[in-house]
Amino acid sequence: MRILLVEDDPDLTRQLKLALADAGYAVDHAPDGEEAQFLGETEPYDAVVLDLGLPKVDGVSVLERWRRGNVTTPVLILTARAAWSDKVAGFDAGADDYLAKPFHTEELLARLRALLRRSAGHAAPSLSCGALRLDPRAARASVNGEPLRLTSLEYRLLHYMMMHQGRVIGRTELVEHLYDQDFDRDSNTIEVFIGRLRKKLGADRIETVRGLGYRLIALEGESA
Amino acid sequence: MIDLRRRSLVRRLVLIAGVWTLLVMLVAGVFLTAQFRGAAIRRFDQSLAVLTDDLYAGSSVDDGELRAPFLTDIRATRAYSGRYWVILDKQRDGAMRAVERSRSLFDSDLMLSSRQVDQLDAKPGKTQYFDLRGPQDKPLRAAAIQARLPGYPDPVVFLAAEDRSPIDADADRFAGVTAIALLILGVGLILAVVVQVRFGLQPLFRLRREVAAVRRGKTERVDGAYPDELEPLARELNALLAHNQEVVERQRTHVGNLAHALKTPLSVMLTEASQQPGQLAEVVERQAQTMREQVDHHLRRARAAARSQTSGERTPLEPILDELAVTLERIFQDKGVQIDWRCPEDLCFQGEKQDLMELAGNVMENAGKWCRGKIRVEAAPEGEARLLLTVDDDGPGLPPEERAQALKRGQRLDENAPGSGLGLSIVDELARAYGGSVQLGESPLGGLRVCLDLPRAEA
């Protein structure tokens, strides 16, 4: 397993390198954002441990550039800033996990193991509908390569609709697939979720068929 | 004395206008009445002068006896009619003797005071006018002329007088009417001033309302359009607000930078210590932990201090809940946590986005830690200006006695003993800073229900 460690503090770098090597990983080190970006784009790492406060280019920007450049390597963010707004920004940029400083090395190693285990999960073919793509392996969806931020319920709904794209799906059917049996919800639940999905995907992608339900369609001019 | 500096501007302006109007009206009234009275008396005097002239011209001396002319004035014949005449002989000793008199005088006489006699003496041949007391003690207006008649030894005074009460009554009536007219005018003017001042000061009242709104946190700056005189004040206020905010922001950034800069060295210390077990490592670990808690605590306090000064922000809930739900599901993805959240689109929190994120984020993270897989989040408006954020999970929940404990730990935060396994202490502290509260209860999903009561902003 090859890990890229992006950290500018020499002491912390030394400690982490040691701990990671002890745990059996091959470690590359980048002390600043520019080098990190370059290494991440050129080398096939299994995971990245990324500090956010970096010289030259900050960590969030590096991460955003990787994701835009289709680098899907799982990234664990290390940062001193632990406010929720920072966490949200980190995950928005495409992070897979988040660890606030100061931390114990054991915790970092445990998180890294979980990250690697997840990314090595069973492969499933990705689904697409026009410019809309859904990757069941990473539980991620994107439009024109731009990642969508979906909650699990929204993702579930979209997943189901993509598996049945082009077909009109009734509300009851959608509710049944959205919730487990122990959840009972009122009938406008689906409307709420369809509304949110439309906001995130674009309103035209989900058609309302009066009295019957909804249909996911590819937009005109898009190849399926 | 009223301290004018502390009275309302409206009252001050109206008071000045009122006093001034009253003064001007008074002077105008007195002046107009005097003019009227003067004119009436002049006309009256002229008619009396005609009579004295008639007497003077018509009198003749016959055998050393003075003969008055025959006058057709009927009013001078009836007793006490109010119109009188008399011809006086000024004797050598200075005493006045009536030689001829009108029938209307009946048995009484018209007497001149010695001062009036001197006055006549000073300007002989010239008509003089006096006020006299006549029969029945009536006020009279008199015209008199002193002259010498050929063949008569003594100077003769021809005097005509008439009751002046009609002109006095006229003048009084005029004064009354004038007073009423001026009063109406004055009241009208003062009312006009009141309206003008109220209307004219309208922008000032508006500015006051806006500043109050800024203080209450409804808006961030003074935004309305103001007249030229107030525009600079509004601009200065905005500049002051901006400056304040900037200073606070800078302080906050400094504290934040310091706090965050300490965290990497702390990490290094912790790691180093954990790699060399022993007594030193234990002490370092314990102290590093304390330092971390202190840093976090003071970071929050710096934010809280800044919050009491900056205000006026409103944060829509829906995007925040969405972002947090997405983020938390990623954080807990190994566990497979599912967050089902509901929120009206137009619901807004009265406060900063960062704080709302801390509040909702910590409560939802707590739910994520303890739940078995499901979290329900419901935001809804409450009453006039509150909102309720309810977070339910399907975890083990907390027995009632421990619920109280969980929030008490929050209260102890201020005594420099931060830290709570629940993360709810931070939430409690923040909610209190916003005048809100945290309630713990039982969730219908079986776990803990955390209910946040927070201020709502108008959408």
ipTM for the predicted complex: 0.77
CA angle B356–B360–B362, rounded 5-degree value: 115
Among A9, A53, A96, whose Cβ lies nearest the Cβ of B268?
A9
Contacts of B459 (CB under 8 A, 6+ apart): B346, B347, B348
What's the pLDDT at B417? 34
Read off the DSSP letter of residue A145: T
Which position has the higher pLDDT, A223 or B419?
Answer: A223
Task: Say yes or no: B358 contacts chain A, CB-CB below 8 A.
Answer: yes
Residues of chain A with Cβ-Cβ distance to B296 below 8 Å are 82
Compare all CA atoms of chain A with the CA of B321 and give the residue at the minimum distance: A151
Which CATH number is associated with domain A127-216? 1.10.10.10
CB-CB under 8 Å, A104 with B333: no
CB B375 within 8 A of CB B408: no
pLDDT at position A125: 67
User: For residue B103, how many other CB atoms are within 10 A of its CB?
Assistant: 12
Q: Does B341 sit within 8 Å of A151, measured CB to CB?
A: yes
Report how far residue B55's alpha carbon sits from residue B71's, in angstroms, rounded to the nearest whole number.
8
Contact: A85, B270; criterion CB under 8 Å: no
Distance CA A120, CA A90 (A): 22
Bridge partners of residue B146, in order along the sequence: B157
CATH entry 3.30.565.10 includes domain B315-457: yes
Q: Minimal Cα–Cα distance from A12 to chain B, Å? A: 5
CB contacts < 8 A (A, B): 104
The answer to whether the CB of B296 falls within 8 A of the CB of A83 is no
Of A6-10, A45-49, B250-254, the poorest mean pLDDT is in B250-254
Q: Find the helix or strand (DSSP H, E) in which B78 lies.
A: none
Of A123, A53, A145, A180, the C-alpha closest to B263 is A53
Q: What is d(CA A84, CA B315) in angstroms, rounded to the nearest whole number?
A: 15
Q: What pLDDT, on a 0 to 100 scale, did the predictor assign at position B178?
A: 93
d(CA B394, CA B448): 7
Tally of CB atoms within 10 A around A60: 21
Instruction: For chain A, say whether B260 makes contact (Cβ under 8 Å).
Output: yes
> Rounded to whole angstroms, how far apart are CA atoms B18 and B21?
5
Is B144 an 8 Å CB contact of chain A?
no
Chain B residue numbers touching A75 (CB-CB < 8 A): none
Residue from B426, B394, B397, B390 nearest B411 by CA: B426
Please list every residue in chain A whose beta carbon sits closer than 8 Å to the beta carbon of residue B252: none
pLDDT for res B391: 93
Q: Is B353 on the interface with A (CB under 8 A)?
A: yes
- Of B267, B299, B181, B217, nearest to A102 by C-alpha is B267
Q: How far apart are CA B389 and CA B367, in angstroms?
A: 13
> DSSP label at B155?
-
Whether B223 contacts chain A with CB within 8 A = no
pLDDT string in tens for chain B (459-residue length): 556 566 677 888 888 888 999 999 999 999 999 999 999 999 999 989 998 888 888 888 888 788 888 777 767 777 788 888 888 888 888 788 888 888 888 777 788 888 888 888 888 888 889 888 888 888 899 999 988 888 888 888 898 999 888 889 999 999 999 999 999 999 999 899 889 888 888 888 888 888 888 777 667 778 878 888 888 888 898 898 889 888 877 887 888 888 888 888 888 888 888 778 888 888 888 888 888 888 887 877 777 666 654 456 788 999 999 999 988 988 888 888 889 898 998 898 888 888 889 899 989 988 888 888 889 999 999 888 899 999 999 988 888 877 777 776 544 333 333 334 547 777 888 888 888 889 888 888 888 999 999 988 876
**Residue A127 backbone dihedrals phi, psi, to 5 degrees:** -105, 150
C-alpha–C-alpha distance, residues B258 and B294, integer Å: 12
- The string of pLDDT tens digits covering residues A145-169 is 778 888 888 888 888 888 888 888 8
Q: Give the H or E element holding residue B200.
A: helix B165-200
Place of tokens 């009946």: B106
B74 contacts chain A (CB < 8 A) = no
Q: Quote the pTM value.
A: 0.61
Q: What is the model's pLDDT at position B410?
A: 42
Contact A104 B270 (CB under 8 A): yes
CA distance B258 to chain A (A): 11
* Residues B268, A12: C-beta atoms closer than 8 Å: yes
Q: What is the dihedral of CA B58, B62, B66, B68, to 10 degrees?
A: -30
Q: What's the confidence (pLDDT) of residue A224?
A: 47
Rounded to whole angstroms, how far apart are CA atoms A51 and B36?
100
A interface residues, B as partner, C-beta within 8 Å: 9, 11-12, 15-16, 18-19, 53, 80-85, 87-88, 91-92, 95-98, 100-106, 114, 118, 139, 149-153, 183, 192, 196
Give me B368's structure tokens: 């994520």
CATH topology for the B61-164 domain = Beta-Lactamase (3.30.450)
Q: Where are the alpha helices (DSSP H) in B77-164?
A: 114-122
- The span from the first CA to the last CA of chain B, in angstroms, equals 49
B87 and B158 in contact (C-beta within 8 Å)?
A: yes
Burial B191-225 (b: 16+ CB within 10 A, else e): eebbeebeeebebbebbeebbebbeebbbbebeee
pLDDT of residue B414: 35
Give pLDDT, residue B23. 93
- A87:B361 CB<8 A: yes
Cβ <8 Å between A118 and B331: no
Decide: A36 and A54 in contact? Cβ < 8 Å.
yes
Task: List the single best residue of A7, A58, A151 to mutate versus B (max B Cβ within 10 A).
Answer: A151
* CA angle centred on B108, ends B102 and B113, rounded to 5°: 95
Q: Test A16 with B362 for CB contact under 8 angstroms.
A: no
Please report how the helices A84-93 and A59-68 are oriented relative to each other, as an axis angle in degrees rounded to 10: 30
Question: Which of A84, A101, A183 lies closest to B266 in CB terms?
Answer: A101
pLDDT at A124 over 90: no
CA dist., res. B206 & res. B230, Å (int): 11
Domain boundaries, chain A: 2-120, 127-216
Cross-chain CB nearest to A152 (options B263, B274, B339):
B339
d(CA B218, CA B210): 9
Name the minimum distance, in Å, from the CA of A70 to any CA of chain B. 19
Chain B residues with CB-CB distance to A97 below 8 A: 330-331
Q: Do domains A2-120 and A127-216 have the same CATH topology?
A: no
Separation in Å, CA of A223 to nearest CA in chain B: 29
In whole angstroms, give the CA distance from residue B322 to residue B315.
13
d(CA B274, CA B105): 137
Task: Find the helix packing angle between A152-163 and A171-178, rounded to 10°.
Answer: 130
Q: Which pLDDT score, from 0 to 100, does residue B306 have?
A: 62
Task: Specify whether the CB–CB gap between B100 and B55 falls below 8 A.
Answer: no
Per-residue pLDDT, A181: 55
Q: What is the CA radius of gyration of chain B?
A: 51
CATH class of A2-120: alpha beta
